[in-house]
Amino acid sequence: MRRFVRAAALDAAVVVVLAAPVAAQTPPAPAPTAAPAQAPLPAPAQPAPEPTPAQMPPIPAPMPAGQTVTFDDAVRIATEKSPDAARAAQVILRAEAVLQGARGVFLPTVNATATTTILNEERGFQGQVTQPQTQAAFGAQVGFPVLAASRWAQATQAADQVAIARIGRDETRRQIALAVSQAYLAVINQHRQVSVNTRALENGRAHLAYASARLQAGAGSRLNELRAAQEASTDEVLLEATLLLLRRAQEALGVLLVAEGPVDTAAEPIFEVPGELPATWLSGRVDIRLADAEIAAAERVRRDSWKDWVPTGTVSFAPQYLTPSGLFQPASTWGAVVQFAIPIFDAGQRRSVARQRDVALELTRIDRTDLERQIRSDERIAREAVLITARALAAARRAAEQANEVVRITDVAFRAGATTNLEVIDAQRRARDAETAAAIAEDRARQARLDLLVALGLFPR
């Protein structure tokens, strides 16, 4: 027990000696060789300085497009090369083919036959051959419908469908022109957005360069520099996003123009707002003309329903030549047939078809009335939108000018030490938002004028 107490006292003395302060000038005890040496703690990392204006990457710019077109050229190219226009042309050819087949009722039909009959042996009695072993027969048949009221009506109805297909081609071209105009204006709008964000990034980098110069001169702070750098980085992100949207809009325009790559706009189109139009302006729209043609065709089909009850009559003439002829078979014969068919009872099929034609006509009229109502509503909305968007555009441009003036005043005040860079950054953000709103207002004003021309049937010309 005493030995244990002595050992504990000795250990405590060693601890006291090791824990003695440096001022006591007592030599430290040697470190045991078995304990590993501790590595020194790393020094805290210093924040990397912001890049100088010379070290900053260049401001991104839009990639060049393979082709640049004007608005009128874009509409013309699209209506000529669009696959939808080619499909509409094929629809016309199909309608003309149906018309050609329907008009065959006014022409005779001619058929020719050639038949060879081979028997195992010739036929006959008392040494006379009644039918040779090999015999060839040549014949023809000419037929003509002398009475076919329903088929004659189908020929006229097929001609109506050709006229509808041609108007439908014009309607398809109108839809293509409208789609191209929307894509063209979208490219212009994205160019405006790119310009706004480019200008915002230039202002942000200029403010960052000033904040960095003040910090290096000892007159600024790291906080001001970080705020300016954050704002510049945000502007760069927005610029990259709008550049991507611009490229997508150019690609969409290129697809509509059947181009091999993106297509850019050459200039902004000018849509002149028309004045007063005659009361018959509605009948000039392609879709109204198409609806009227469909109604006229449906009315004709319904009026021709009674022709399904008219008898049909045909006349046919069939000559024949037989070689070699038999005993009771003359070498040449002919026959003529006059036939009339009178429908008596068909279990209500013709009445059902006539009722379906009445319903089809009524549906076509309903669609025409609904279309006219919608067009007149679009025309009223478009006229109101032209006025409203014009006022909104003027206000948005004033707001953008005022916001840019606030930026200039705030920057001067900040350089004079009368305010902080928080006010400068806030003013820059508000200016960017105001210019973005002005670009959107410009796009809406262009869209409103285009919608008015479309509603009045003045686009495309």
List the domain range (segments joined by +) for residue 297: 71-118+134-340+366-455
Q: Is residue 39 part of a domain?
A: no
Q: The pTM is what?
A: 0.81
Name the residue with higher pLDDT: 6 or 42: 42
Q: Which of 140, 82, 98 is nearest to 320 (CA)?
A: 140
pLDDT in tens, 417-434: 899 899 999 999 999 999
Q: How many domains does the chain have?
A: 1
Q: Is residue 187 part of a domain?
A: yes
**Whether the predicted pLDDT of 139 surpasses 60:** yes
pLDDT in tens, 35-51: 444 445 454 444 555 56
Q: Is residue 405 part of a domain?
A: yes
CA 143 and chain centroid, separation: 53
C-alpha distances out from residue 204 to 55, 214, 221, 427, Å = 15, 15, 17, 11
Q: Do 431 and 200 meet the contact criterion of CB atoms below 8 Å apart?
A: yes
pLDDT in tens, 205-243: 999 999 999 999 998 899 999 999 999 999 999 999 999
**Whether the predicted pLDDT of 17 surpasses 70:** no
Q: Is residue 349 part of a domain?
A: no
pLDDT at 81: 94
Name the residue with higher pLDDT: 130 or 347: 347
Please report, for the domain that includes residue 430, its CATH number. Answer: 1.20.1600.10
- pLDDT category at 461 given cuts 50, 70, 90 is confident
pLDDT more than 70, % of the chain: 88
Q: Is residue 155 part of a domain?
A: yes
**Whether the predicted pLDDT of 12 surpasses 50:** no
C-alpha distances out from residue 389 to 85, 439, 447, 454, Å = 33, 12, 9, 17
pLDDT at 51: 62
Q: Is residue 323 part of a domain?
A: yes
Lowest mean pLDDT among 8-22, 162-176, 213-227: 8-22
Q: Is residue 102 part of a domain?
A: yes
* Cα 429 to Cα 407: distance, rounded to the nearest angstrom: 9
DSSP states of 27-51:
PPPPPPTTSPPPPPPPPPPPPPPPP
pLDDT at 219: 87
Upstream peptide bond of 53 is cis (omega within 30 degrees of 0): no
What integer is the mean pLDDT of 149-178? Answer: 96
Amino acid at 322: L
**Whether the predicted pLDDT of 295 surpasses 80:** yes
Residue 157, Cβ density class (10 Å: 0-12 exposed, 13-18 middle, ≥19 buried): middle
pLDDT in tens, 368-411: 999 999 999 999 999 999 999 999 999 999 999 999 999 999 99
Q: Is residue 13 part of a domain?
A: no
Lowest mean pLDDT among 26-35, 102-111, 447-456: 26-35
Mean of the per-residue pLDDT values of the chain: 88
What integer is the mean pLDDT of 57-85? Answer: 94
